[in-house]
Amino acid sequence: MKTFITDREVLSERKGREAELLPLVSCFVFTTNHLPTWLEPGERRYFIVQTDHDGFSSGPKAAEFGNLVAEVYDALDKPGEVASLYNALINRQISEYFNPTSLNTELHGTAVMKQLLGTSGETVLDQLEEYLFSQARAVITQAKVKNYVVKELRQNGNRTRHMMQELGWTQHGPVTV
């Protein structure tokens, strides 16, 4: 995913043709019902917006929101409407203070971004520490720890060594003073 967000070019390999380097132009929108606590500390590739509203399935404005969603789907079925939206977005002037290729989270970060970026690393370390103590062992295999970090904490496996050091563990077990 990092490649599609940060790289300017992509290698395209079509069947029966030579591979060619093409400009990479993409935009992604992700939605979730959960806070993305899997973000690594200092992550600046995502602009996170929290949208609370009364249109949830049993909310007081559920019918109104349902109608709005139906209108959006209807508009997306009409090429002219999609073209209008595209033109509006492509012609929108971005503030000179906002740099989408290097997001300054101090200036432009939303409240939820600041909360996540400030605490996600601590949360992950706390979870890893709880896991290690739940194993009730002074020694645990690297493979088992890495598996937990990748599958349960959804972190890059390369961070395992650094997190273990931050928690005071070495390749020979926890450091005791």
What number of other Cβ atoms are within 10 A of residue 107's Cβ? 9
Per-residue pLDDT of the chain (177 residues; tens, 9 = 90+): 777 877 889 898 989 999 999 998 887 888 887 777 777 666 667 788 888 788 877 889 999 999 999 999 999 999 999 999 999 999 999 888 777 767 777 777 787 777 776 655 567 788 888 888 888 777 788 888 888 888 887 777 888 888 888 888 877 656 554
21 C-beta neighbours (distance < 10 Å), count: 10
> Which pLDDT score, from 0 to 100, does residue 177 have?
45
* DSSP states of 28-80: -----SS--TTPPTT--S--------TTSTTSTTHHHHHHHHHHHHHHHT-HH
150: in domain = yes
* Residue 163 domain flag: yes
Total count of domains within the chain = 1
Integer angstrom CA distances of residue 24 from 6, 10, 20, 88: 9, 6, 12, 21
Residue 155 forms part of a structural domain: yes
Task: Give 94's contacts (C-beta < 8 A, 6+ positions apart).
Answer: 100
* Owning domain of residue 149: 121-170
Say if 166 falls within a structural domain: yes
Q: Say if 58 falls within a structural domain.
A: no
Is the residue at 148 inside a domain? yes
Cβ-contact 21, 9 below 8 angstroms? yes
pLDDT, residue 170, reads: 78
Burial of 46 (0-12, 13-18, 19+ CB in 10 A): middle
